[in-house]
A and B are shown apart, each in its own frame.
Chain A
Amino acid sequence: MIRDTTIGAKLWITAVWVVVAFFVINLLAMIATVIMSSFATRWLGTWLPAGWTTNWYFTAWSEFQLSDVLIVTFQIAFTVVALSGLLGVTAAYALARRDFPGKKLVMLLFLLPLLVPPITFGIPLATVLYQAGVGGTFWGVVLANLVPTVPFVILVMIPFIEQIDPKIEAAARVFGAGTFQLFVHVLLPMLLPGILAALLLVLVRTVAMFELTFLTAGPTSQTLVVALYYSVFAAGVRAVQSIDAMAVVYMVTTLIWLLIALRFVNPTQIVARAKQQQTTA
Protein backbone atom coordinates (compact mmCIF):
# COMPACT_ATOMS: atom_id res chain seq x y z
CA MET A 1 0.00 0.00 0.00
CA ILE A 2 1.19 3.49 -0.76
CA ARG A 3 1.52 5.82 2.21
CA ASP A 4 1.31 9.55 1.65
CA THR A 5 3.09 11.39 4.43
CA THR A 6 3.08 14.99 3.23
CA ILE A 7 1.01 17.54 5.19
CA GLY A 8 -1.12 18.27 2.13
CA ALA A 9 -2.05 14.61 1.77
CA LYS A 10 -2.94 14.35 5.46
CA LEU A 11 -5.12 17.46 5.28
CA TRP A 12 -6.86 16.04 2.23
CA ILE A 13 -7.53 12.71 3.96
CA THR A 14 -8.93 14.55 6.99
CA ALA A 15 -11.15 16.67 4.76
CA VAL A 16 -12.53 13.54 3.06
CA TRP A 17 -13.40 11.94 6.40
CA VAL A 18 -14.99 15.17 7.65
CA VAL A 19 -17.32 15.13 4.66
CA VAL A 20 -18.24 11.48 5.31
CA ALA A 21 -18.82 12.20 9.00
CA PHE A 22 -20.99 15.23 8.15
CA PHE A 23 -23.14 13.11 5.86
CA VAL A 24 -23.50 10.20 8.26
CA ILE A 25 -24.24 12.47 11.26
CA ASN A 26 -26.97 14.31 9.36
CA LEU A 27 -28.45 11.05 8.15
CA LEU A 28 -28.53 9.49 11.61
CA ALA A 29 -29.80 12.72 13.20
CA MET A 30 -32.63 12.82 10.66
CA ILE A 31 -33.64 9.25 11.51
CA ALA A 32 -33.30 10.04 15.23
CA THR A 33 -35.61 13.05 14.82
CA VAL A 34 -38.34 10.85 13.40
CA ILE A 35 -37.99 8.21 16.12
CA MET A 36 -37.80 10.76 18.93
CA SER A 37 -40.78 12.71 17.64
CA SER A 38 -42.89 9.55 17.51
CA PHE A 39 -42.36 9.09 21.27
CA ALA A 40 -42.81 12.77 22.19
CA THR A 41 -45.74 14.21 24.06
CA ARG A 42 -45.03 17.74 22.88
CA TRP A 43 -41.99 18.94 20.96
CA LEU A 44 -41.91 22.60 19.99
CA GLY A 45 -38.94 24.95 20.06
CA THR A 46 -36.70 22.84 22.30
CA TRP A 47 -33.80 20.46 21.80
CA LEU A 48 -35.63 17.52 23.32
CA PRO A 49 -39.34 16.76 23.66
CA ALA A 50 -41.19 17.84 26.80
CA GLY A 51 -42.12 14.27 27.72
CA TRP A 52 -42.30 10.73 26.44
CA THR A 53 -45.26 8.56 25.49
CA THR A 54 -46.09 5.57 23.33
CA ASN A 55 -49.65 6.72 22.72
CA TRP A 56 -48.94 7.93 19.18
CA TYR A 57 -48.41 4.37 18.05
CA PHE A 58 -51.89 3.40 19.21
CA THR A 59 -53.33 6.55 17.64
CA ALA A 60 -51.53 5.93 14.34
CA TRP A 61 -52.48 2.25 14.40
CA SER A 62 -56.21 3.06 14.52
CA GLU A 63 -56.18 6.36 12.58
CA PHE A 64 -54.31 5.05 9.55
CA GLN A 65 -55.76 1.52 9.83
CA LEU A 66 -52.22 0.26 9.92
CA SER A 67 -53.16 -3.38 10.47
CA ASP A 68 -55.08 -3.39 7.16
CA VAL A 69 -52.31 -1.49 5.39
CA LEU A 70 -49.64 -3.85 6.74
CA ILE A 71 -51.60 -6.92 5.67
CA VAL A 72 -52.01 -5.50 2.15
CA THR A 73 -48.33 -4.50 2.03
CA PHE A 74 -47.16 -8.01 2.88
CA GLN A 75 -49.68 -9.69 0.61
CA ILE A 76 -48.43 -7.58 -2.28
CA ALA A 77 -44.76 -7.95 -1.35
CA PHE A 78 -44.87 -11.75 -0.98
CA THR A 79 -46.88 -12.21 -4.18
CA VAL A 80 -44.29 -10.09 -6.01
CA VAL A 81 -41.47 -12.10 -4.41
CA ALA A 82 -42.99 -15.44 -5.42
CA LEU A 83 -43.76 -14.42 -9.00
CA SER A 84 -40.48 -12.62 -9.64
CA GLY A 85 -38.61 -15.62 -8.23
CA LEU A 86 -40.46 -17.98 -10.54
CA LEU A 87 -40.06 -15.86 -13.68
CA GLY A 88 -36.61 -14.56 -12.82
CA VAL A 89 -34.78 -17.73 -11.79
CA THR A 90 -35.94 -19.73 -14.82
CA ALA A 91 -34.94 -16.95 -17.22
CA ALA A 92 -31.61 -16.45 -15.44
CA TYR A 93 -30.90 -20.18 -15.77
CA ALA A 94 -31.48 -20.08 -19.52
CA LEU A 95 -29.36 -16.94 -19.91
CA ALA A 96 -26.51 -18.34 -17.81
CA ARG A 97 -26.35 -21.69 -19.62
CA ARG A 98 -27.08 -20.93 -23.26
CA ASP A 99 -25.79 -18.61 -25.94
CA PHE A 100 -28.43 -17.95 -28.54
CA PRO A 101 -29.01 -15.43 -31.30
CA GLY A 102 -30.61 -12.27 -29.93
CA LYS A 103 -29.25 -12.81 -26.42
CA LYS A 104 -27.91 -9.25 -26.32
CA LEU A 105 -31.34 -7.91 -27.22
CA VAL A 106 -32.92 -9.99 -24.46
CA MET A 107 -30.36 -8.69 -21.97
CA LEU A 108 -31.19 -5.13 -23.05
CA LEU A 109 -34.87 -5.87 -22.45
CA PHE A 110 -33.98 -6.93 -18.90
CA LEU A 111 -31.69 -3.96 -18.28
CA LEU A 112 -34.08 -1.22 -19.43
CA PRO A 113 -36.69 -1.53 -16.63
CA LEU A 114 -33.86 -1.08 -14.11
CA LEU A 115 -32.34 1.92 -15.88
CA VAL A 116 -35.51 3.82 -16.75
CA PRO A 117 -36.88 5.47 -13.58
CA PRO A 118 -40.21 4.04 -12.37
CA ILE A 119 -42.13 7.29 -12.77
CA THR A 120 -41.21 7.47 -16.49
CA PHE A 121 -42.56 4.05 -17.42
CA GLY A 122 -45.09 4.07 -14.58
CA ILE A 123 -47.38 6.64 -16.16
CA PRO A 124 -47.92 4.80 -19.48
CA LEU A 125 -48.08 1.51 -17.54
CA ALA A 126 -50.73 2.87 -15.18
CA THR A 127 -52.71 4.12 -18.20
CA VAL A 128 -52.66 0.65 -19.76
CA LEU A 129 -53.54 -1.05 -16.46
CA TYR A 130 -56.50 1.27 -15.86
CA GLN A 131 -57.73 0.67 -19.41
CA ALA A 132 -57.45 -3.09 -18.85
CA GLY A 133 -59.46 -2.74 -15.67
CA VAL A 134 -56.77 -3.91 -13.24
CA GLY A 135 -55.63 -0.41 -12.29
CA GLY A 136 -56.39 0.34 -8.65
CA THR A 137 -56.62 -3.34 -7.73
CA PHE A 138 -54.30 -5.73 -5.89
CA TRP A 139 -53.16 -7.37 -9.13
CA GLY A 140 -52.51 -4.03 -10.80
CA VAL A 141 -50.06 -3.13 -8.04
CA VAL A 142 -48.44 -6.57 -8.23
CA LEU A 143 -48.03 -6.37 -12.02
CA ALA A 144 -46.51 -2.89 -11.84
CA ASN A 145 -44.08 -3.92 -9.10
CA LEU A 146 -42.98 -6.98 -11.06
CA VAL A 147 -41.63 -4.81 -13.90
CA PRO A 148 -38.38 -3.88 -12.12
CA THR A 149 -38.15 -6.92 -9.81
CA VAL A 150 -38.14 -9.67 -12.48
CA PRO A 151 -35.10 -8.16 -14.26
CA PHE A 152 -33.49 -7.54 -10.87
CA VAL A 153 -33.74 -11.23 -9.93
CA ILE A 154 -32.42 -12.22 -13.36
CA LEU A 155 -29.36 -9.98 -13.16
CA VAL A 156 -28.54 -11.00 -9.59
CA MET A 157 -28.98 -14.72 -10.34
CA ILE A 158 -26.99 -15.00 -13.58
CA PRO A 159 -23.54 -14.83 -11.89
CA PHE A 160 -24.72 -17.23 -9.16
CA ILE A 161 -25.79 -19.81 -11.74
CA GLU A 162 -22.65 -19.33 -13.83
CA GLN A 163 -20.56 -20.27 -10.79
CA ILE A 164 -22.06 -23.76 -10.74
CA ASP A 165 -20.12 -26.23 -12.81
CA PRO A 166 -22.32 -27.56 -15.66
CA LYS A 167 -20.61 -30.95 -15.16
CA ILE A 168 -22.65 -31.41 -11.98
CA GLU A 169 -25.85 -31.11 -13.99
CA ALA A 170 -24.43 -33.41 -16.65
CA ALA A 171 -23.61 -35.99 -13.95
CA ALA A 172 -27.18 -35.80 -12.62
CA ARG A 173 -28.47 -36.30 -16.17
CA VAL A 174 -26.22 -39.32 -16.65
CA PHE A 175 -27.75 -40.90 -13.55
CA GLY A 176 -31.17 -40.39 -15.07
CA ALA A 177 -32.50 -37.26 -13.39
CA GLY A 178 -35.32 -35.54 -15.24
CA THR A 179 -35.41 -31.76 -15.59
CA PHE A 180 -37.70 -31.39 -12.59
CA GLN A 181 -35.61 -33.75 -10.40
CA LEU A 182 -32.45 -32.01 -11.57
CA PHE A 183 -33.87 -28.69 -10.51
CA VAL A 184 -35.27 -29.75 -7.15
CA HIS A 185 -32.48 -32.04 -5.98
CA VAL A 186 -29.37 -30.55 -7.58
CA LEU A 187 -29.79 -26.93 -8.61
CA LEU A 188 -32.12 -25.62 -5.93
CA PRO A 189 -29.96 -26.62 -2.93
CA MET A 190 -26.89 -25.05 -4.54
CA LEU A 191 -28.70 -21.89 -5.64
CA LEU A 192 -30.63 -21.39 -2.43
CA PRO A 193 -28.32 -18.75 -0.89
CA GLY A 194 -28.43 -16.74 -4.12
CA ILE A 195 -32.19 -17.07 -4.54
CA LEU A 196 -32.76 -16.13 -0.91
CA ALA A 197 -30.57 -13.04 -1.22
CA ALA A 198 -32.23 -11.92 -4.46
CA LEU A 199 -35.73 -12.45 -3.10
CA LEU A 200 -35.04 -10.65 0.17
CA LEU A 201 -33.80 -7.66 -1.81
CA VAL A 202 -36.95 -7.85 -3.94
CA LEU A 203 -38.98 -7.81 -0.73
CA VAL A 204 -37.16 -4.69 0.51
CA ARG A 205 -37.55 -2.99 -2.87
CA THR A 206 -41.25 -3.79 -3.07
CA VAL A 207 -42.02 -2.56 0.45
CA ALA A 208 -40.08 0.64 -0.32
CA MET A 209 -41.27 1.08 -3.94
CA PHE A 210 -43.27 4.29 -3.89
CA GLU A 211 -43.78 5.49 -7.47
CA LEU A 212 -45.20 2.37 -9.11
CA THR A 213 -47.49 1.52 -6.21
CA PHE A 214 -48.60 5.14 -5.92
CA LEU A 215 -49.56 5.29 -9.60
CA THR A 216 -51.47 2.00 -9.66
CA ALA A 217 -52.91 1.61 -6.15
CA GLY A 218 -56.55 2.12 -5.28
CA PRO A 219 -57.97 2.71 -1.80
CA THR A 220 -57.82 -0.99 -0.87
CA SER A 221 -54.44 -1.75 -2.42
CA GLN A 222 -52.28 0.91 -0.77
CA THR A 223 -48.98 -0.20 0.68
CA LEU A 224 -47.43 1.32 3.78
CA VAL A 225 -45.17 3.74 1.90
CA VAL A 226 -48.08 5.14 -0.14
CA ALA A 227 -50.19 5.54 3.00
CA LEU A 228 -47.24 7.37 4.57
CA TYR A 229 -47.01 9.68 1.55
CA TYR A 230 -50.69 10.58 1.76
CA SER A 231 -50.47 11.30 5.48
CA VAL A 232 -47.41 13.56 5.04
CA PHE A 233 -49.11 15.20 2.05
CA ALA A 234 -52.13 16.01 4.18
CA ALA A 235 -49.98 17.08 7.13
CA GLY A 236 -51.74 19.50 9.45
CA VAL A 237 -54.84 17.35 9.56
CA ARG A 238 -53.16 14.96 11.98
CA ALA A 239 -50.53 15.35 14.67
CA VAL A 240 -46.95 15.26 13.43
CA GLN A 241 -46.10 12.65 16.05
CA SER A 242 -48.75 10.28 14.78
CA ILE A 243 -47.31 10.52 11.23
CA ASP A 244 -43.83 9.97 12.67
CA ALA A 245 -45.08 6.87 14.51
CA MET A 246 -46.28 5.52 11.17
CA ALA A 247 -42.92 6.40 9.63
CA VAL A 248 -41.18 4.38 12.37
CA VAL A 249 -43.45 1.41 11.69
CA TYR A 250 -42.51 1.69 8.01
CA MET A 251 -38.81 2.02 8.86
CA VAL A 252 -38.91 -1.08 11.06
CA THR A 253 -40.68 -3.18 8.40
CA THR A 254 -38.07 -2.33 5.75
CA LEU A 255 -35.03 -2.47 8.01
CA ILE A 256 -35.81 -5.93 9.41
CA TRP A 257 -35.74 -7.37 5.90
CA LEU A 258 -32.68 -5.33 4.98
CA LEU A 259 -30.74 -6.62 7.99
CA ILE A 260 -31.65 -10.20 7.13
CA ALA A 261 -30.68 -9.57 3.49
CA LEU A 262 -27.34 -8.06 4.48
CA ARG A 263 -26.38 -11.33 6.12
CA PHE A 264 -26.38 -12.88 2.65
CA VAL A 265 -25.20 -10.12 0.33
CA ASN A 266 -22.66 -7.40 -0.01
CA PRO A 267 -24.25 -3.92 0.20
CA THR A 268 -22.73 -2.82 -3.11
CA GLN A 269 -24.80 -5.52 -4.78
CA ILE A 270 -27.96 -3.59 -3.99
CA VAL A 271 -27.06 -0.80 -6.37
CA ALA A 272 -24.37 -2.24 -8.63
CA ARG A 273 -26.78 -4.51 -10.39
CA ALA A 274 -25.03 -6.17 -13.24
CA LYS A 275 -21.44 -5.73 -12.24
CA GLN A 276 -19.28 -7.96 -14.35
CA GLN A 277 -17.04 -10.34 -12.47
CA GLN A 278 -13.55 -9.07 -12.97
CA THR A 279 -10.72 -11.52 -12.99
CA THR A 280 -7.23 -10.23 -12.44
CA ALA A 281 -4.50 -12.08 -14.19
Chain B
Amino acid sequence: MTSASSNSLDHRISLRQRLALRGIDGVTLLVLPAVLFLLAVFIYPFIYGLILSFKPKEGGTFANYRTFFSDPFLYDTILTTLWLAVPVTIISIAIALPVAFRVRLMTHQRLLTTILVLPVTLGTVLVAEGLLNYLGPQGWFSRTLMLLGMIDRPVKLTNNYWGVFSSLIITGFPFTFLLTLSYVSGVDPALEQAAATHGAGSWQRFRHVMLPLLVPGLAIAFCLSFVQAFAVFPSAVLLGAPAGPTRVISIAAYQAAFEQYDYSMASAIAMIMAVVQLLIVVAVLGIRNMFYRGSTAGGKG
Protein backbone atom coordinates (compact mmCIF):
# COMPACT_ATOMS: atom_id res chain seq x y z
CA MET B 1 0.00 0.00 0.00
CA THR B 2 1.35 3.43 -0.88
CA SER B 3 0.49 6.56 1.00
CA ALA B 4 -1.68 9.19 -0.57
CA SER B 5 1.09 11.77 -0.77
CA SER B 6 3.60 9.54 -2.58
CA ASN B 7 0.81 8.46 -4.86
CA SER B 8 0.16 12.04 -5.92
CA LEU B 9 3.94 12.60 -6.28
CA ASP B 10 4.12 9.62 -8.62
CA HIS B 11 1.23 11.04 -10.50
CA ARG B 12 2.87 14.46 -10.80
CA ILE B 13 6.15 13.06 -12.05
CA SER B 14 4.44 10.80 -14.50
CA LEU B 15 2.31 13.65 -15.81
CA ARG B 16 5.45 15.69 -16.36
CA GLN B 17 7.15 12.76 -18.02
CA ARG B 18 4.12 12.04 -20.11
CA LEU B 19 4.11 15.67 -21.31
CA ALA B 20 7.87 15.53 -21.96
CA LEU B 21 7.38 12.36 -23.99
CA ARG B 22 4.86 14.16 -26.14
CA GLY B 23 7.36 16.98 -26.59
CA ILE B 24 6.01 19.46 -24.08
CA ASP B 25 8.56 20.77 -21.58
CA GLY B 26 10.24 24.03 -20.63
CA VAL B 27 11.75 24.47 -24.08
CA THR B 28 8.41 24.03 -25.81
CA LEU B 29 6.95 26.81 -23.68
CA LEU B 30 9.36 29.23 -25.38
CA VAL B 31 7.02 29.22 -28.34
CA LEU B 32 4.21 30.68 -26.22
CA PRO B 33 5.13 34.40 -26.26
CA ALA B 34 5.19 34.51 -30.05
CA VAL B 35 1.97 32.49 -30.32
CA LEU B 36 0.14 34.70 -27.82
CA PHE B 37 1.43 37.81 -29.54
CA LEU B 38 0.17 36.73 -32.95
CA LEU B 39 -3.15 35.60 -31.52
CA ALA B 40 -3.55 39.09 -30.07
CA VAL B 41 -2.44 41.21 -33.04
CA PHE B 42 -3.28 38.98 -36.00
CA ILE B 43 -6.06 36.50 -35.25
CA TYR B 44 -8.01 38.69 -32.82
CA PRO B 45 -8.22 41.72 -35.17
CA PHE B 46 -9.37 39.42 -37.96
CA ILE B 47 -12.17 37.97 -35.87
CA TYR B 48 -12.97 41.40 -34.49
CA GLY B 49 -13.15 42.75 -38.05
CA LEU B 50 -15.35 39.89 -39.15
CA ILE B 51 -17.82 40.52 -36.32
CA LEU B 52 -17.63 44.28 -36.83
CA SER B 53 -18.50 43.85 -40.50
CA PHE B 54 -21.85 42.35 -39.43
CA LYS B 55 -22.61 45.34 -37.20
CA PRO B 56 -23.15 48.11 -39.76
CA LYS B 57 -23.71 51.74 -38.86
CA GLU B 58 -27.27 51.35 -40.09
CA GLY B 59 -29.38 48.51 -41.43
CA GLY B 60 -29.48 44.79 -40.70
CA THR B 61 -26.69 42.29 -40.16
CA PHE B 62 -25.78 41.98 -43.82
CA ALA B 63 -26.30 45.65 -44.71
CA ASN B 64 -22.60 46.26 -45.47
CA TYR B 65 -22.37 43.30 -47.80
CA ARG B 66 -25.68 44.20 -49.44
CA THR B 67 -24.42 47.77 -50.02
CA PHE B 68 -21.16 46.47 -51.46
CA PHE B 69 -22.74 44.11 -53.93
CA SER B 70 -25.47 46.52 -55.05
CA ASP B 71 -23.27 49.56 -55.69
CA PRO B 72 -21.28 49.22 -58.93
CA PHE B 73 -18.82 51.84 -57.63
CA LEU B 74 -17.94 49.29 -54.93
CA TYR B 75 -18.36 45.85 -56.49
CA ASP B 76 -16.59 46.88 -59.70
CA THR B 77 -13.40 47.23 -57.64
CA ILE B 78 -13.18 43.42 -57.48
CA LEU B 79 -13.12 43.17 -61.27
CA THR B 80 -10.74 46.14 -61.60
CA THR B 81 -8.32 44.50 -59.19
CA LEU B 82 -8.56 41.08 -60.83
CA TRP B 83 -8.07 42.73 -64.22
CA LEU B 84 -4.72 44.04 -62.91
CA ALA B 85 -3.58 41.18 -60.71
CA VAL B 86 -4.30 38.18 -62.95
CA PRO B 87 -2.49 39.39 -66.12
CA VAL B 88 0.45 40.65 -64.07
CA THR B 89 0.80 37.30 -62.31
CA ILE B 90 0.47 35.24 -65.49
CA ILE B 91 2.99 37.41 -67.37
CA SER B 92 5.43 37.33 -64.46
CA ILE B 93 5.31 33.52 -64.28
CA ALA B 94 5.51 33.15 -68.08
CA ILE B 95 8.67 35.28 -68.18
CA ALA B 96 10.15 34.02 -64.92
CA LEU B 97 10.10 30.36 -65.95
CA PRO B 98 12.32 30.51 -69.10
CA VAL B 99 14.62 33.04 -67.42
CA ALA B 100 14.99 30.80 -64.38
CA PHE B 101 15.86 27.90 -66.71
CA ARG B 102 18.77 29.90 -68.13
CA VAL B 103 19.88 31.45 -64.84
CA ARG B 104 20.14 28.09 -63.07
CA LEU B 105 22.93 27.18 -65.53
CA MET B 106 24.89 30.33 -64.66
CA THR B 107 27.78 30.08 -62.23
CA HIS B 108 27.56 33.72 -61.11
CA GLN B 109 23.90 34.24 -60.31
CA ARG B 110 24.58 36.64 -57.51
CA LEU B 111 24.84 39.89 -59.47
CA LEU B 112 21.61 39.29 -61.38
CA THR B 113 19.67 38.17 -58.31
CA THR B 114 20.99 41.18 -56.39
CA ILE B 115 19.80 43.58 -59.11
CA LEU B 116 16.43 41.86 -59.04
CA VAL B 117 16.15 42.17 -55.26
CA LEU B 118 16.41 45.97 -55.62
CA PRO B 119 12.76 46.67 -56.51
CA VAL B 120 11.54 44.26 -53.81
CA THR B 121 13.58 46.22 -51.28
CA LEU B 122 12.78 49.70 -52.55
CA GLY B 123 9.07 48.96 -52.33
CA THR B 124 6.06 50.13 -54.26
CA VAL B 125 6.12 53.79 -53.19
CA LEU B 126 9.60 54.46 -54.57
CA VAL B 127 8.93 52.51 -57.76
CA ALA B 128 5.73 54.50 -58.31
CA GLU B 129 7.62 57.74 -57.72
CA GLY B 130 10.39 56.74 -60.13
CA LEU B 131 8.03 55.55 -62.82
CA LEU B 132 6.06 58.82 -62.71
CA ASN B 133 9.17 60.51 -64.10
CA TYR B 134 10.54 57.70 -66.18
CA LEU B 135 7.32 56.73 -67.99
CA GLY B 136 5.90 60.25 -68.05
CA PRO B 137 5.40 62.19 -71.28
CA GLN B 138 8.86 63.80 -70.93
CA GLY B 139 10.50 60.68 -69.54
CA TRP B 140 13.29 58.62 -71.00
CA PHE B 141 11.02 55.74 -71.99
CA SER B 142 8.87 57.70 -74.43
CA ARG B 143 11.92 59.63 -75.61
CA THR B 144 13.82 56.47 -76.48
CA LEU B 145 10.87 55.03 -78.38
CA MET B 146 10.54 58.32 -80.28
CA LEU B 147 14.26 58.33 -81.04
CA LEU B 148 13.95 54.82 -82.41
CA GLY B 149 11.05 55.99 -84.54
CA MET B 150 8.61 53.50 -83.03
CA ILE B 151 6.14 56.21 -82.01
CA ASP B 152 5.77 59.82 -83.08
CA ARG B 153 4.35 61.26 -79.89
CA PRO B 154 4.79 60.29 -76.24
CA VAL B 155 2.75 57.29 -75.11
CA LYS B 156 0.54 57.85 -72.09
CA LEU B 157 1.77 55.38 -69.49
CA THR B 158 1.09 57.20 -66.22
CA ASN B 159 -2.14 57.97 -64.40
CA ASN B 160 -3.85 55.06 -66.11
CA TYR B 161 -4.03 51.25 -66.16
CA TRP B 162 -0.59 50.83 -67.75
CA GLY B 163 1.17 52.85 -65.07
CA VAL B 164 -0.09 50.54 -62.34
CA PHE B 165 0.52 47.53 -64.57
CA SER B 166 4.20 48.42 -65.09
CA SER B 167 4.79 49.17 -61.45
CA LEU B 168 3.24 45.82 -60.48
CA ILE B 169 5.49 44.05 -62.99
CA ILE B 170 8.58 45.86 -61.69
CA THR B 171 7.90 45.04 -58.05
CA GLY B 172 6.20 41.70 -58.70
CA PHE B 173 8.40 40.06 -61.30
CA PRO B 174 11.57 39.84 -59.15
CA PHE B 175 9.55 38.22 -56.37
CA THR B 176 8.02 35.68 -58.76
CA PHE B 177 11.38 35.09 -60.44
CA LEU B 178 13.31 34.40 -57.23
CA LEU B 179 10.60 31.99 -56.07
CA THR B 180 10.56 30.22 -59.45
CA LEU B 181 14.35 30.07 -59.48
CA SER B 182 14.40 28.35 -56.11
CA TYR B 183 11.96 25.70 -57.41
CA VAL B 184 13.75 25.24 -60.74
CA SER B 185 17.13 24.82 -59.03
CA GLY B 186 15.52 22.27 -56.73
CA VAL B 187 14.96 19.83 -59.60
CA ASP B 188 17.77 17.32 -59.93
CA PRO B 189 19.64 18.00 -63.23
CA ALA B 190 20.17 14.23 -63.58
CA LEU B 191 16.49 13.82 -64.50
CA GLU B 192 16.85 16.15 -67.45
CA GLN B 193 20.11 14.53 -68.49
CA ALA B 194 18.47 11.12 -68.42
CA ALA B 195 15.76 12.42 -70.75
CA ALA B 196 18.39 13.92 -73.04
CA THR B 197 20.30 10.62 -73.14
CA HIS B 198 17.11 8.96 -74.30
CA GLY B 199 16.93 11.44 -77.16
CA ALA B 200 14.37 13.96 -75.89
CA GLY B 201 14.61 17.40 -77.51
CA SER B 202 14.61 20.57 -75.44
CA TRP B 203 10.84 21.11 -75.81
CA GLN B 204 10.10 17.46 -75.00
CA ARG B 205 12.35 17.64 -71.94
CA PHE B 206 10.54 20.74 -70.76
CA ARG B 207 7.04 19.48 -71.51
CA HIS B 208 7.33 15.92 -70.23
CA VAL B 209 10.04 16.06 -67.55
CA MET B 210 10.50 19.52 -66.08
CA LEU B 211 7.01 20.99 -66.31
CA PRO B 212 5.21 18.17 -64.48
CA LEU B 213 7.81 18.37 -61.70
CA LEU B 214 7.49 22.15 -61.48
CA VAL B 215 3.69 22.49 -61.51
CA PRO B 216 3.31 22.25 -57.71
CA GLY B 217 5.98 24.90 -57.13
CA LEU B 218 4.62 27.14 -59.86
CA ALA B 219 1.15 26.92 -58.35
CA ILE B 220 2.54 28.19 -55.04
CA ALA B 221 4.50 30.93 -56.82
CA PHE B 222 1.31 31.90 -58.68
CA CYS B 223 -0.70 32.11 -55.44
CA LEU B 224 1.90 34.19 -53.59
CA SER B 225 2.43 36.59 -56.50
CA PHE B 226 -1.29 36.90 -57.14
CA VAL B 227 -2.10 37.67 -53.52
CA GLN B 228 0.59 40.39 -53.45
CA ALA B 229 -0.64 41.91 -56.72
CA PHE B 230 -4.26 41.79 -55.58
CA ALA B 231 -3.42 43.95 -52.57
CA VAL B 232 -1.96 46.72 -54.78
CA PHE B 233 -2.42 50.05 -53.05
CA PRO B 234 0.17 52.87 -53.23
CA SER B 235 0.93 52.49 -56.94
CA ALA B 236 -2.77 52.41 -57.83
CA VAL B 237 -3.15 55.77 -56.09
CA LEU B 238 0.07 57.44 -57.23
CA LEU B 239 0.56 56.00 -60.68
CA GLY B 240 -2.98 55.13 -61.70
CA ALA B 241 -6.33 56.82 -61.94
CA PRO B 242 -7.66 56.11 -58.44
CA ALA B 243 -11.07 57.59 -59.22
CA GLY B 244 -11.65 55.46 -62.31
CA PRO B 245 -9.85 52.65 -64.13
CA THR B 246 -7.53 51.71 -61.27
CA ARG B 247 -9.89 52.11 -58.34
CA VAL B 248 -8.81 48.84 -56.77
CA ILE B 249 -10.46 47.16 -53.80
CA SER B 250 -7.86 48.32 -51.26
CA ILE B 251 -8.62 51.94 -52.19
CA ALA B 252 -12.31 51.30 -51.48
CA ALA B 253 -11.42 49.75 -48.11
CA TYR B 254 -9.06 52.60 -47.25
CA GLN B 255 -11.61 55.28 -48.16
CA ALA B 256 -14.32 53.60 -46.09
CA ALA B 257 -12.03 53.45 -43.04
CA PHE B 258 -10.09 56.71 -43.15
CA GLU B 259 -12.26 59.06 -45.21
CA GLN B 260 -15.77 58.05 -44.14
CA TYR B 261 -14.67 56.63 -40.75
CA ASP B 262 -17.01 53.69 -41.34
CA TYR B 263 -14.82 50.96 -39.82
CA SER B 264 -17.64 48.45 -40.12
CA MET B 265 -17.86 48.92 -43.90
CA ALA B 266 -14.05 48.94 -44.17
CA SER B 267 -13.88 45.63 -42.31
CA ALA B 268 -16.53 44.20 -44.61
CA ILE B 269 -14.48 45.20 -47.67
CA ALA B 270 -11.31 43.76 -46.11
CA MET B 271 -13.18 40.49 -45.52
CA ILE B 272 -14.44 40.45 -49.12
CA MET B 273 -10.85 41.05 -50.23
CA ALA B 274 -9.62 38.12 -48.14
CA VAL B 275 -12.39 35.86 -49.47
CA VAL B 276 -11.62 36.67 -53.13
CA GLN B 277 -7.91 35.96 -52.52
CA LEU B 278 -8.79 32.74 -50.75
CA LEU B 279 -11.09 31.61 -53.58
CA ILE B 280 -8.40 32.11 -56.21
CA VAL B 281 -5.76 30.38 -54.07
CA VAL B 282 -8.07 27.41 -53.40
CA ALA B 283 -8.90 27.18 -57.12
CA VAL B 284 -5.23 27.21 -58.13
CA LEU B 285 -4.26 24.67 -55.47
CA GLY B 286 -7.21 22.51 -56.56
CA ILE B 287 -5.88 22.49 -60.12
CA ARG B 288 -2.41 21.69 -58.77
CA ASN B 289 -3.69 18.55 -57.04
CA MET B 290 -4.59 17.09 -60.42
CA PHE B 291 -0.88 16.99 -61.30
CA TYR B 292 2.07 14.93 -60.06
CA ARG B 293 3.13 15.59 -56.51
CA GLY B 294 6.29 14.22 -55.07
CA SER B 295 10.03 14.44 -54.91
CA THR B 296 11.91 16.54 -57.42
CA ALA B 297 15.14 14.84 -56.41
CA GLY B 298 16.43 12.06 -58.59
CA GLY B 299 16.70 8.67 -56.92
CA LYS B 300 18.85 5.68 -57.67
CA GLY B 301 16.49 2.94 -56.61
Nearest chain B CB to A214 CB, angstrom units: 8
Partner of A19, one of B41, B99, B123, B140: B99
- Whether B33 contacts A90 by the Cβ 8 Å rule is yes
Q: How far is the CA of A146 from the CA of B293 in the complex (A)?
A: 35
Interface of B with A (CB < 8 Å)?
22-31, 33-35, 37-39, 41-46, 48-50, 52, 95, 98-99, 101-102, 105, 110, 112-134, 138-141, 143, 170, 173-175, 178-179, 181-182, 186, 188-189, 192-193, 196, 202, 205, 224, 227-228, 230-231, 233-234, 237-238, 250, 253-254, 257-258, 263, 266-267, 269-270, 273-274, 277, 296-300
- Whether A278 contacts B186 by the Cβ 8 Å rule is yes
Contacts of A254 in B (CB 8 A): 121-123
Partner of A127, one of B132, B196, B266: B266
- A110 interface residue per 8 A CB criterion: yes
User: What count of chain A residues pass the 8 Å CB interface test?
Assistant: 97
Contacts of B118 in A (CB 8 A): 27, 31, 255
A-B contacts besides A127-B263, A240-B133, 5 pairs, CB < 8 Å? A120-B270, A123-B49, A124-B267, A210-B123, A270-B178
- Whether B123 contacts A116 by the Cβ 8 Å rule is no
- Whether B38 contacts A267 by the Cβ 8 Å rule is no
Nearest chain A CB to B258 CB, angstrom units: 8
- Whether B45 contacts A267 by the Cβ 8 Å rule is no
Nearest chain A CB to B169 CB, angstrom units: 8
- Whether B42 contacts A112 by the Cβ 8 Å rule is yes
- A232 interface residue per 8 A CB criterion: yes
- Chain A to chain B contacts (Cβ below 8 Å), 6 pairs: A98-B25, A101-B22, A118-B231, A123-B270, A124-B45, A210-B123
Q: How far is the CA of A144 from the CA of B282 in the complex (A)?
A: 27
Known: A2-B192, A268-B113. A120 touches B274 (CB 8 A): yes
- Whether B42 contacts A27 by the Cβ 8 Å rule is no
Closest partner residue, chain A, to B118 (CB atom): A27
Known: A109-B38, A210-B124. A270 touches B117 (CB 8 A): yes
Nearest chain B CB to A244 CB, angstrom units: 7
- Whether B224 contacts A27 by the Cβ 8 Å rule is no
Contacts of A208 in B (CB 8 A): 121-123
